A and B are shown apart, each in its own frame.
Chain A
Amino acid sequence: EVQLVESGGGLVQPGGSLRLSCAASGFTFSSYAMSWVRQAPGKGLEWVSRISGSGGSTYYADSVKGRFTISRDNSKNTLYLQMNSLRAEDTAVYYCAKDRYTISPSYMDVWGKGTTVTVSS
């Protein structure tokens, strides 16, 4: 069974840092690009970042560029999102999602259940 399990969310003060993880199983992790998508309370979906299967190409939404870093460890089948300089507007449920393709832009065919990040003093 294909499965994605996020962890690492929590309460953090503005300006703080947090690292999210996403453990993948049931598929050849390195063969697929992976994305992070977030959803603020009561709001819609916002794509945050994407990394190619090899990890060699990364993409970011303008809202997080320069503050967030996506990475992956294909030996551990794990995706990461390092979040620095956090702001109140980063408060959201963060979903890890598997992209359909390795490199080319694509839809997201498998989603984790999400981890909640709250930025507040």
Chain B
Amino acid sequence: EIVMTQSPVTLSVSPGERATLSCRASQSVSSNLAWYQQKPGQAPRLLIYGASTRATGIPGRFTGSGSGTEFTLTISSLQSEDFAVYYCQQYNNWPYTFGQGTKLEIK
């Protein structure tokens, strides 16, 4: 099973600033990596797939990058609605596996 490790666990950032979230895979997942956003009491929402392609309706301030084992989600100029938990997920191998999540909180 591929282990996905996200860092940091919690990230405190001020509105308007940039946030950088990391996700590392225990073995290569090529570009088969997705990012999801989850707000309290809500279902996850797909943000990024293929490591760098924004899903439909996702604002341009969300940028995904990386391949192989190292991936990054960057959110430029944080808006109030961006404070949430973010998960990465690999879909290169069975079983699908998620990272433990990064909580992005207001500083």
Contacts and interface: CB of A to CB of B under 8 A. Distances in A.
B95 A112 contact: no
Q: Is the interface of B mostly helix, strand, loop or mixed?
A: loop
Which interface class (under 10, 10 to 19, 20 to 34, 35 or more) fits B?
Answer: 20 to 34
B94 A105 contact: yes
A114 B91 contact: no
Contacts of A47: 89, 95-98
Contact of B44 (A61, A95, A100): A95
A1 interface: no
Q: Is the interface of A mostly helix, strand, loop or mixed?
A: strand
Which interface class (under 10, 10 to 19, 20 to 34, 35 or more) fits A?
Answer: 20 to 34
A59 B95 contact: yes
Nearest to A110: B46
A111 B44 contact: yes
Interface string B65-107: 0000000000000000000000101011111111111000000
Interface of B: 1, 32, 34, 36, 38, 42-46, 49, 55, 87, 89, 91-101
7 contacts: A45-B101, A47-B98, A62-B1, A105-B92, A105-B96, A111-B45, A112-B43
A44 B100 CA distance: 6
Interface string A77-121: 000000000000000000100001000011111111110000000
Contacts of A35: 96
A22 to B, nearest CB: 12
A114 B43 contact: yes
Contact of B49 (A50, A59, A107, A112): A107
Contacts of A62: 1, 95
B24 to A, nearest CB: 15
Nearest 3 interchain pairs by C-beta:
A107-B34, A47-B96, A111-B43
Contacts of B98: 44-47
A96 to B, nearest CB: 9
B66 to A, nearest CB: 15
Contacts of B34: 107-108
